[in-house]
Amino acid sequence: MPPAGRVVVVGASAAGLAAAETLRREGHTGTITLIGDEPAAPYDRPPLSKEILSGAWSPDRLPLRAPADLGALDLDARYGCEAISVNVSEGTVLLADGTEVPYDGLIVATGVRPRLLPGTPAHVLRTLDDALALKDRLGPGRTLAVVGAGFLGAEAASVAAGLGTHVTLLEPAPVPLAHAVGEDVGRVLAQVHLDHGVDLRAGTGVSEVVPGGVRLDDGSVVEADTVLVAVGSRPNTEWLTGSGLTLEDGLVCDEFCAAAPGVYGAGDVARWHNPLFDTSMRIEHRTNAAEQGMAAARNLLGAQRPFAPVPYFWSDQYDLKIRAYGYLRGHDEMRIAEGSLKERKFTAIYRTGDRLTGVLSIGMPPKSTLAWRQSIALRARWQDAIGTTRSAEPAL
């Protein structure tokens, strides 16, 4: 790419903003066009299911940067504009209003959108408008059915219950979040919901949303004033169809976040090869979005450094703070390294093959995970890792 070339960043997200800031910080002097389909400047999404939904924050706390800081980036910002296609051979992005935006380098950061269920339209939780609309439906005397007990659904259920809403949490898996954190930790989190009065129904599938509730797979209906669907997401790649770029549960990228010469992916939409774990992954976490946006921008400018992070995520549920590093999905073994599952204060470590690949803590200080994070980054062998554990509490 020419040193003062034109860069188009599609996605006014945490990843897109990080990419734009990094381009300027690394000395890029050309035009940077930042395209976002929402009318607002980039804002933070994790608080939507926590502080915004609970009312602890007002929306004016969400913007990722002050207007003056955005202005200093000298961006060609196009908010409220939808990119509908890209011509890689000609180097142009087509917008919904018919405008063609030329580029010398392209960064795709279009994120994801919620999966929906058949039937009556229901609430989802992805944008600020989504969060405010759901917030207005919560409180004493209200009933809420949450479909999906993943991290987003669990966070929303915990906030709603704290506001006095009667919550029914429906999850098709026998143990919520077992695919991500293991059955033992999943059972601990499930019990926390029950202890706070949530009607958690694991192993319960939902076939459709109906007026006044949801219909289960067995034909029965769970009544609720409001329904929140939190059954995962789909990467926003439809606008890339026909571009020649590889699309497979995201925009497929190499270890440098490159999808094609001059085209890079970042954030929730990007599926890239992480050489640290030697696997392809797509991570929907805020920290990864910012880090990958920076990596994509540097590599677009010629750095050619592999993007090999130790992914990080956190979740707030009731009075619990959950922190995790690494790649926990598909793990072969979980072991308690410190603390106790029964007391809900513990650090758990995860094995994949013969390596330490993840760590998760609940109710523990941040430092309890940092040493494990370093071991994951150094590709520590499992046998070496468990030799340093303080306890080996048996499974529940």
Q: What is the CATH number of the domain that holds 341?
A: 3.30.390.30
In a domain, 144, yes or no: yes
Whole-number Å distance between alpha carbons of 373 and 312: 9
Q: Report yes or no on whether pTM surpasses 0.85.
A: yes
Q: Is there a domain that residue 391 lies in?
A: no
Confidence band (pLDDT; 50, 70, 90) for 24? very high
In this structure, is residue 393 part of a structural domain?
Answer: no
Beta carbons of 226 and 69 less than 8 angstroms apart: no
Q: How far apart are CA 35 and CA 18, in angstroms?
A: 14
Task: Check whether 396 has a pLDDT greater than 70.
Answer: no
Residues 125, 107, single domain; the answer is no
In a domain, 30, yes or no: yes
**Looking at residues 343-350, what average pLDDT do you find?**
96
Query: Do 56 and 185 sit in the same domain of this protein?
Result: no
Q: Indicate the pLDDT class of residue 268, thresholds 50, 70 and 90.
A: very high
Same domain, 93 and 121: no
When pLDDT is averaged across residues 18-46 and rounded to a whole number, the result is 97
Model pLDDT for residues 37-55, shown as the tens digit of each residue = 999 999 999 999 999 999 9
The overall average pLDDT reported for the chain is: 96
Residues 32 and 60 in one domain: yes
| Dihedral of the alpha carbons of 77, 49, 204, 168, in degrees to the nearest 10 | -140
In a domain, residue 1? The reply is no
pLDDT tops 50 at residue 395: no
The per-residue pLDDT for 387 is 83
Examine the domain organization and report whether 254 and 340 are in the same domain. no
Residue 320: strand pairing partners:
317
Q: CATH number of the domain that 210 lies in?
A: 3.50.50.60
Q: Would you say residue 205 has pLDDT above 60? A: yes
Helices and strands in the chain: count of H runs, count of E runs: 10, 26
For the cut 70, the answer to whether the pLDDT of residue 130 exceeds it is: yes
Distance set, CA 261 to CA 109, 299, 388 (Å): 16, 11, 45
> In this structure, are 169 and 123 located in the same domain?
yes
Residue 251 within a domain: yes
Tell me, yes or no, whether 224 and 249 share the same domain. Answer: no
Number of domains making up the chain: 3
Same domain (yes/no): 131, 224: yes
Task: Determine, yes or no, domain membership for 368.
Answer: yes
Per-residue pLDDT tens digits for 51-100: 999 999 999 999 999 999 999 999 999 999 999 999 999 999 999 999 99
Domain interval for residue 337: 319-386
Please state, in angstroms and rounded to a whole number, the distance separating the CA atoms of residues 75 and 43. 16
Average pLDDT value for residue range 305-319 = 96
Region at 145 (left for phi over 0; alpha for psi -120 to 50; beta for the rest) = beta
Residue 311 located in a structural domain: no
**pLDDT, average across residues 369-377:** 96
